[in-house]
């Protein structure tokens, strides 16, 4: 409970900072208490973020996805055949144990690297949500889970583990958090270093739900680089227009020191490489970014984890801008 209260307080702090910076009264969007939720015992942070992001995108409770991940691979930590590579005795592979035939129909490119890889949790977890939704979840959850694995014992195990994930360690009958509405689960608890970064993030967050169009520069649609450029412009700061020019512009920061307002870059898209990234996002909180992702993504512009295999670097444009203005 104290963690949830702290997260809510951080969101209020951002609203106050934004109001002070813009001269307008802070407003509530109804999602402020939700945040991304506290850590959950037994689930690695990167997997938990992926479960919650898939829940946001597909409307499947994150604890259901986590329960499946727990059974199938101990959240990717199992060394059993077929988890890291290859297939098990029935032909299933990856942390969520997809058959190749099922993956061909329901696999998802969750990290937008141009590949659908059932061994990559960033793809396998949203694919699980996609498959459950196709089979009737969440209203027909038991039916969907039975389609995932034709065993009533399996279905019962998933539902039991899911209930446990929602309970606090202190009181086994008290939920840590209710599953929030889809439109709210995207909102991350954000604490910012200053009002300038609050303005940048506030603008970007206000674009959630708008379409992605390659080459678009707002206000009705954005691509990844135009979104972050416009967010900086909202705070009175100028950065280059394209991902290829934004990458060398900012001061390079170790990935371990990423903070809100930084830009994170990915080796994703045609013609990109480890030193020529093709995708960019804006850091809003530890482990989370807002990005204009792709035209077929749901949502096209939304919050997701930046801790993914194709993350190649981080820059801090504010250091470049501050240094130039002080000369």
Domains and CATH numbers, the chain: 45-165 (1.10.530.10), 195-325 (3.90.1720.10)
Model confidence pLDDT, tens digit, residues 226-260: 999 999 999 999 999 999 999 999 999 999 999 99
Top-ranked range on mean pLDDT: pick from 1-5, 34-38, 159-163, 298-302: 159-163
Among all chains, which residue has been given the structure tokens 């749901």?
298
- The whole-angstrom distance between residue 176's C-alpha and the CA centroid of its chain comes to 20
Q: State mean pLDDT over 208-226.
A: 92
Model confidence pLDDT, tens digit, residues 30-80: 333 233 467 788 899 889 989 998 988 888 899 999 999 999 999 999 999
Model confidence pLDDT, tens digit, residues 117-150: 999 999 999 999 999 989 988 888 999 999 999 9
Model confidence pLDDT, tens digit, residues 167-212: 744 233 334 443 443 333 333 344 556 788 989 998 998 898 889 9
- For residues 103 and 185, what is the distance between their CA atoms, to the nearest angstrom? 26
- For residues 11 and 17, what is the distance between their CA atoms, to the nearest angstrom? 10
Q: Identify the pLDDT of residue 150.
A: 92
End-to-end CA, the chain: 48
DSSP 268: -
Q: State mean pLDDT over 288-306.
A: 86
Q: Is 217 exposed, middle or buried (0-12, 13-18, 19+ CB in 10 A)?
A: middle
| Average per-residue pLDDT for the chain | 80
Q: Is the pLDDT of residue 158 over 60?
A: yes
Q: Is the pLDDT of residue 103 over 70?
A: yes
> In which band, very low, low, confident or very high, does the pLDDT at 322 lie, cut at 50, 70 and 90?
low
Identify the CA nearest to 122 among candidates 226, 49, 36.
49
Q: Which tokens is 124 given?
A: 């396998």
The more confidently predicted of residues 170 and 93 is 93
pTM over 0.75: no
């Amino acid at each position: 409970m104290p963690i949830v209260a702290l997260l809510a307080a951080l969101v209020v702090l951002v609203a106050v900072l934004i109001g002070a910076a813009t001269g307008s009264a802070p407003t509530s969007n109804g999602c402020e208490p939700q945040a991304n939720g506290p850590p959950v015992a037994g689930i690695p942070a990167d997997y938990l973020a992926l479960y919650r992001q898939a829940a946001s995108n597909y409307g499947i409770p994150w604890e259901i996805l986590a329960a499946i991940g727990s059974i199938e691979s101990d959240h990717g930590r199992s060394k059993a055949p077929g988890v890291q590579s290859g297939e098990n005795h029935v032909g299933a592979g990856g942390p969520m144990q997809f058959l190749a035939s099922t993956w061909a129909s329901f696999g998802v490119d969750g990290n937008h690297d141009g590949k659908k890889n059932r061994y990559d949790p960033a793809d396998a977890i949203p694919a699980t949500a996609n498959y459950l939704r196709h089979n009737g979840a969440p209203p027909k959850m038991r039916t969907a889970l039975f389609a995932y694995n034709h065993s009533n014992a399996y279905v019962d195990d998933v539902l039991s583990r899911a209930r446990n994930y929602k309970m606090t360690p202190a009181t086994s009958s008290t939920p840590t958090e209710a599953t929030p509405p889809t439109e709210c689960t995207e909102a991350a608890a954000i604490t910012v270093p200053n009002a300038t970064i609050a303005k940048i993030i506030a603008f970007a967050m206000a674009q959630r739900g708008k379409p992605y169009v390659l080459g678009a520069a707002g206000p009705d649609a954005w691509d990844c680089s135009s979104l972050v450029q416009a967010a900086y412009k909202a705070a009175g700061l100028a950065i280059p227009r394209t991902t290829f020019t934004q990458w060398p512009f900012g001061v390079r920061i170790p990935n371990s020191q990423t903070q809100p307002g930084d830009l994170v870059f990915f080796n994703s898209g045609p013609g990109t490489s480890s030193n020529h990234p093709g995708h960019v996002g804006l850091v809003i909180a530890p482990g989370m970014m807002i990005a204009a992702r792709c035209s077929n993504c749901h949502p096209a512009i939304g919050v997701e984890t930046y801790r993914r295999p194709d993350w190649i670097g981080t820059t801090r444009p504010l250091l470049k801008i501050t240094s130039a203005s002080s000369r």
